[in-house]
Amino acid sequence: MCCTREPERNYLEAAIRTVIQIHMCEEIAGNVKMLETGQEEMEVACKRIKREIGNVGPEGGEIKGIGLYSSLPANIQQRKFEDPPPNKANGAIGRKVVVSANIAETSLTM
């Protein structure tokens, strides 16, 4: 994980924590992009982020995790263009998290 003062032992866990922190603390609407190295990590990250936000309770905004890798069918890859979940009545922001591989960096537009 970049931009940490100390090395991270488990970069996947650190990245998931960072996404959750951004989602819960950032008061400005917007989506998040998370880069991982492989399909399995992307799928794990999407599931974990959704589960962790679900554990927060009603004060947390909804989050939609979208894994994006080259072996996905084109119609599934198009999910990256879907709108994020709506904001809640309590003001909690809905966000979309696109988890992609470095190779997708050049072709991904959110």
pTM over the 0.85 mark = no
Beta bridge partners of 33: 98
| Residue 50 pLDDT | 93
The secondary structure element, H or E, covering residue 23 is helix 11-25
Which domains are delineated in the chain? 11-106 (3.40.50.300)
* pLDDT tens digits along 86-109: 999 999 999 999 998 865 554 554
The secondary structure element, H or E, covering residue 52 is helix 39-56
Q: How far apart are CA 98 and CA 106, in angstroms?
A: 14
Residue 2 or residue 77, greater confidence? 77
What SS3 class is residue 39? helix
Contacts of 1 (CB under 8 A, 6+ apart): 8, 11, 14, 15, 18
Tokens of residue 110, six digits: 């959110």
